Amino acid sequence: MSSNVAPPRVVTIADLRKLARRRLPRMAFDYIDGGAESEVTLRENCRAFDEVTLRPRCAVATSGCDLRTSVLGTPIALPLLLAPVGSGRLFYPRGDEAAAAAAGAAGTGCILSTLSGTRLEDVKAATDGPAWYQLYLVGGREVATAAIERARAAGYSALVVTIDTPVSGFRVRDVRNGVTELLSGNPFSMLPFVGQILVRPRWLAGFLGDGGLMRFPNIVIPGQGPMPYADVGAALAQSAVTWQDLRWIRDVWNGPIVVKGVHTGEDARRAVEEGAEAIVVSNHGGRQLDGVAATLRVLPEVVAAVDGRTEVLLDGGIRRGSDIAKALCLGARAVLAGRAYAYGLAAAGGAGVARAIEILREDLARTLTLLGAASVADLNRSYADVPAEWLTASARGPRA
């Protein structure tokens, strides 16, 4: 591990965030760190964990805590997967490969974003663990079908269909920092923002050495090739996923489908009806519609709605192992972490991702020991107190 992430200095995810901020130009750091509009949901995703209190069983001897679980029938060493984060090469050279390798070494899995700057085949080859491919319909059905077929051939074991992105959220920090302009390749539009890059020469050297301005090699437009970075906003606005799309996607994929972006019991039930093998309670890390509830807050509603018919995962706000424990107490099978590992990637590449995973693993094991729980499988609602208003929605049936 590089010296700037030595364990005595890096003991929390917040420490990795500080190092990432120091290494990245402002536009790249805020791309990881920021959310939509006033960032209310971004903050609430983290704050919601403070509202759940734990109920330990004391005077219990635990010789060791078993963190192992399984997702979609695949064993993993801890109930944590790396969430899909776009533009990984913006944070570190070959960033998605580095993150995937770290996940595999830790005995867990990763989910690759459609909006990766790295070929999906290269990312799958980099990891010994399970890999899922996250699908946007960017470029239309023909382009998406080609990507699905590539993912299957490469050995991805599940398809994650994101349903909460009919358009990109209004991310104020990105607009102010000129993210699109900086990566458009147009020197005139880039000029007002180039100063923030020049003050990060080490990052710039790595970025240029990794190929510089990104295209998306997993979105191959017929007759044009990989889609340029500057086109992504318009492309997302033309590629909304509907429930009907899940039917042709299933015909093409013919494997496990995970529906990501579920906020309500109603959508959870619909996902089950459409045959989803798992769902992810997610508000896109607070990057889409601002003002929606924190994912932990709606988790009980979603768990009650699916009633054991499919696996439930949670995404959003994971910064400590106790956060993972609380999500499992409320019914999640495992969690996805995005920013937590992205900070590590931006700070120190694969070593930073490995440290982020290790921090969460150590925190989770410590939390289980203090709870008096021998394994993550033992966690249930009896280990946590939840605000009463969170449970009201979970008892509510479908709205008329």
Domain architecture of the chain: domains with CATH: 3-375 (3.20.20.70)
The Cα 103–Cα 123 span in angstroms is 11
Handedness of CA 155, 324, 331, 370 (dihedral sign): positive
Q: Is 287 helix (H, G, I), strand (E, B) or coil?
A: coil
Task: For residue 241, give every residue at least 6 positions away whose Cβ sits within 8 Å of its Cβ, in sequence order, or none.
Answer: 136, 137, 161, 162, 163, 165, 166
Q: 244-277 burial, b if ≥16 CB within 10 A, otherwise e?
A: ebbeebbebbebbbbbbbbbbbbbbbbbbebebb
Nearest residue to 88 via CA among 73, 78, 98: 98
Asked if 42 and 295 count as a contact pair (C-beta separation under 8 A), the reply is no
Asked if 171 and 34 count as a contact pair (C-beta separation under 8 A), the reply is yes
How high is the pLDDT of residue 184? 64
Whole-number percent of the chain with pLDDT over 70: 93
The stretch 215-234 carries a mean pLDDT of 85
* Residue matched to tokens 């867990």: 108
Asked if 199 and 25 count as a contact pair (C-beta separation under 8 A), the reply is yes
How high is the pLDDT of residue 7? 47
Does the reported pTM lie above 0.85? Answer: yes
The Cα 390–Cα 386 span in angstroms is 7
Q: Is 45 helix (H, G, I), strand (E, B) or coil?
A: helix
Question: What are the beta bridge partners of residue 312?
Answer: 279
Q: Report pLDDT digits (tens) over 123-171.
A: 999 999 999 999 999 889 999 999 999 999 999 999 999 999 888 899 9
> How far is residue 40 CA from its own chain's centroid?
19
Q: Which of 94, 270, 284, 355 is catalytic?
A: 284
Provide the pLDDT confidence category of residue 191 given band limits of 50, 70 and 90: confident
Active-site annotation holds for 263 = no
Whole-number percent of the chain with pLDDT over 90: 80
